[in-house]
Amino acid sequence: MTQESKDEGATGLPASEEQSTTVTNKGASASAFQTATKSVEKGKSSKTVKSDDGDDAKKPANLTPDQFNRLLSLNPALKKEVESMEPAKVQDMMKTLSLADVLAGASVSAKNKKDMASYKFWQTQPVPSFDEAKSIIEDGPMQEADIDKVPKEPRQMYPGFEWVVMDLTNSDELNEVYELLSNHYVEDDEAMFRFNYSPSFLTWALKAPGWRKDWHIGVRASKSRKLVAFISAIPVELRVRKNLLKSSEVNFLCVHKKLRDKRLTPVLIAEITRRCNLVGVFQAIYTAGVLLPTPVSTCRYFHRSLNWEKLYEVGFSPLPPGSTKQRQILKFKLPTTTATHGLRPMTKKDVPAVLDLLKRYLERFALAQVFTKEEVEHWLLHDPKRIPEQVVWSYVVEDPSTHKISDFFSFYRLESAALASKKHQMVRAAYLFYYATETAFSSPHDKGALKKRLNELVKDAMILAKKENFDVLNALTLLDNPLFLEEQKFGAGDGQLHFYLYNYRAAPIPGGMNAKNQPDEKHMGGVGIVML
């Protein structure tokens, strides 16, 4: 869920209509350190901010206490550091912290060792420290895989609680997971929006090809049987540069609000790790808005209004100073019909052609999933027999004479509950998913042509998403997205999505942004995986 700012960005920069910033859920954390500002984790709510120029990024940002608190909510380690500091020192830090530090969500401490020490759990895990990550030259596992050393039983759960496996083929249990997440998953700091992963979405996300029931882990209160925590994984084959990794994708970590700050998260993470290890999976990929040791890449969320008026009414989009509602509506107006010849919904018979195109397209990126035919079918085609409510929409471009598939694109639906709105219950957000185009392979390579083609395709994606009644289209700076974000009037988010690898040391991978935190064509070719 994302949100546009009506005042200033989470980073504290002034608002601007032209260059807007939005924060995205699963971005920063709305964790214990609550502030008066809006921000949603894992994608966070978003705010419009004026883009900085490069030199300014290095100057002290002179943060207000509120802005500083907001930064701390993005960075638990920094928060802990600050809590143990003298107030005068904190004041100094607020004055001297540079914008680049703020935007990167980085610690102000020059000594990353201290940072690492405050990650009581993560410092015990096979993940690179901040210091180490700076000097990684060769990619590779951090710990030897030894299946015989994997504990056969889970770590003991806290008294009064017990481990359970959630059976997502059972609609009651699926609904319990839905209930837990819809009440306790990622929300903005002001609790205005909260992700609403529908039961259909969870079925789609958690029953992907190869899924394992025992990777859907719950914690129940022994007496009431209430589900109070959840963590999950699905199997994926990852490619990190040239290396193929049999991995898991960990997602939907959630702890009931009443059980926060009790160190349940490390126990959940250890248990999902153990269950992956038991079947010979020793690497994982996961994303978070909070800064943990140590991201392999960082992307930024962008948001394109499709229904500006509703976004304004729910408090998601601001009315920029000097603008009018009418002008805003006009700014985001779209044609009613798509323009690409041969564009049509993808069907099952397109799967082999889409797989071939997608595979070649993703080879252009350093970090990507290696898709199978079954996975392409699962992730891109809506199957009403398995998944009652449509979650994913995919379209192909077919040449009318040769019948070859030259392009495809897709988006998925993820609503957020508009908790503070009397008029609207949900913000219907579409998230740009995978896409590919033959234009990327023109010889000689023609970046201008690729840019033109992607702009055409994404514009059509917006038109189709609007037709499906979506209010906003969200996208990160991954894939080739920096080629169209600005031109298609996406507003930049002030939250980031960090990508992490577990038990795998990898040199940094570009996230489509430059040092100024702006989308940059020169920093593409890194992240080619889209995580839900």
What does the per-residue mask of binding to ligand COA show for 179-208, with x meaning CB under 6 A?
A: -----xxx----------------------
The nearest distance, CB 178 to ligand COA, in angstroms, is: 14
The nearest distance, CB 250 to ligand COA, in angstroms, is: 9
Q: What three-state secondary structure class fits 69?
A: helix
Of 122 and 395, CB closest to ligand COA? 122
Q: How far apart are CA 333 and CA 312, in angstroms?
A: 15
**Tokens 């610690």, residue?**
107
Q: Report how far apart, in Å, the C-alpha atoms of 107 and of each of 28, 68, 103, 182, 513 are.
A: 14, 12, 11, 31, 19
263 part of the interface to ligand COA, by CB under 6 A: yes
Of 260 and 445, CB closest to ligand COA? 260
266 part of the interface to ligand COA, by CB under 6 A: yes
Please name the residues in contact with 420: beta carbons below 8 A apart, sequence gap of 6 or more: 190, 191, 192, 314, 315
Amino acid at 272: I
Please name the residues in contact with 474: beta carbons below 8 A apart, sequence gap of 6 or more: 2, 24, 43, 301, 302, 303, 304, 429, 430, 431, 432
Nearest to 454 by CA among 444, 443, 442: 442
Q: Which of 58, 262, 327, 386 binds ligand COA (CB under 6 A)?
A: 262
498 part of the interface to ligand COA, by CB under 6 A: no
Name the one range near ligand COA by CB under 6 A: 6-14, 263-271, 443-451, 476-484: 263-271
417 part of the interface to ligand COA, by CB under 6 A: no
217 part of the interface to ligand COA, by CB under 6 A: no
Of 436 and 478, CB closest to ligand COA? 478
Of 27 and 482, CB closest to ligand COA? 27
In Å, how far from its chain's centre is CA 324?
32
Q: How far apart are CA 478 and CA 512, in angstroms?
A: 6
120 part of the interface to ligand COA, by CB under 6 A: yes
Token output for 352: 């082999």
Q: How far apart are CA 222 and CA 160, in angstroms?
A: 5
Q: Which of 292, 381, 397, 429 binds ligand COA (CB under 6 A)?
A: 292
Q: Where are the alpha helices (DSSP H) in 391-472?
A: 447-467
- The 10 Å CB-count burial string (b at 16+, else e) for 247-256 is bbbbbbbbbb
To the nearest 10 degrees (0 to 180), the angle between helices 65-74 and 87-96 is 90
Catalytic positions, please? Answer: 532
Q: How far apart are CA 330 and CA 456, in angstroms?
A: 20
Name the one range near ligand COA by CB under 6 A: 11-19, 253-261, 365-373, 422-430: 253-261
The nearest distance, CB 447 to ligand COA, in angstroms, is: 33
Of 289 and 318, CB closest to ligand COA? 289
Of 74 and 100, CB closest to ligand COA? 74
532 part of the interface to ligand COA, by CB under 6 A: no
Contact status, residue 381 vs residue 348, Cβ threshold 8 Å: yes
121 part of the interface to ligand COA, by CB under 6 A: yes
Region 41-70 residues binding ligand COA, contact defined as CB under 6 A: 41-42
What does the per-residue mask of binding to ligand COA show for 141-180, with x meaning CB under 6 A?
A: ----------------------------------------
360 part of the interface to ligand COA, by CB under 6 A: no
Q: Which of 57, 94, 288, 475 binds ligand COA (CB under 6 A)?
A: 288
Write out the residues near ligand COA by the rule CB under 6 A. 26, 31, 41-42, 76, 119-122, 184-186, 253-255, 260-266, 288, 290, 292
